[in-house]
Every structure is written in C-alpha cells, then in structure tokens.
Amino acid sequence: DADVTQTPRNRITKTGKRIMLECSQTKGHDRMYWYRQDPGLGLRLIYYSFDVKDINKGEISDGYSVSRQAQAKFSLSLESAIPNQTALYFCATSDTDRGNQPQHFGDGTRLSIL
C-alpha cells in the first residue's frame, strides 16, 4: 500500500464547480503539503500544515483552501474552479524530527477544468 495516497487520481470538471482533493498518509509524519505542478514551472507550494492545528499559505494559495482533519489527512479544495487551475496536484509529507527531509509525495491528481 502506498504511504501517501491521493484521491481521486484523475478528475475532469467544469468551471465554477467546487472540488475537493484528498490526501491520506500512513507514515506518521506531522507535516503535510499541497503542491501544483505545471510544465516549465516546477512544483509550487499551495498550502502546508506543520500539525493538525497549524495551516499556512504557500506561494500560490489564492483560489484554494485546505483542511487538516487529522494528522493523517489533509484535503485541498477549489471553491470555484477556473480553467487556469488545470494542473497536476501533489500531496507530500515530511518528518519534523528528521529536519523535514525528505518529503514523500503521493502519485498526484490530474485535474482538468473545462
């Protein structure tokens, strides 16, 4: 079983819809992250959480929100999806006690907004 599981793996939806991407982990890590990947831009941090009560904005948080439901679960929501949010989204985790490295990534959610 994967240590970091993302659902769904693929999603096609329409402009204006609310979408939730879910991430769960079995690694027991405190820290969780959401990134988006776009060709030529690398991975950019959307939100991160250092523990259940701690949520922080990353470099591109506009249009997104997150919820840390438990140590093992971190979800990303697009309140009203727009086409330029079409991208590959990754969840990652890291262990505070090991200096936050490495980060362990899920296999991604490919999101297309029409």
The residue ranges that bind other proteins (CB under 8 A) are 4, 31, 33, 40-45, 48, 50, 58, 90, 92, 94, 96, 99-103, 105-108
CB 104 within 8 A of CB 4: yes
CB of 100 to other proteins, least distance (A): 3
CB of 106 to other proteins, least distance (A): 5
Pick the closer one to other proteins by CB: 15 or 96.
96
Pick the closer one to other proteins by CB: 8 or 16.
8
Phi, psi of 98 (to 5 degrees): -105, 25
* Among 89, 40, 94, residue whose Cα is nearest residue 63: 89
User: CA separation (Å) from 23 to 62, 66, 110?
Assistant: 20, 11, 14
CB of 82 to other proteins, least distance (A): 23
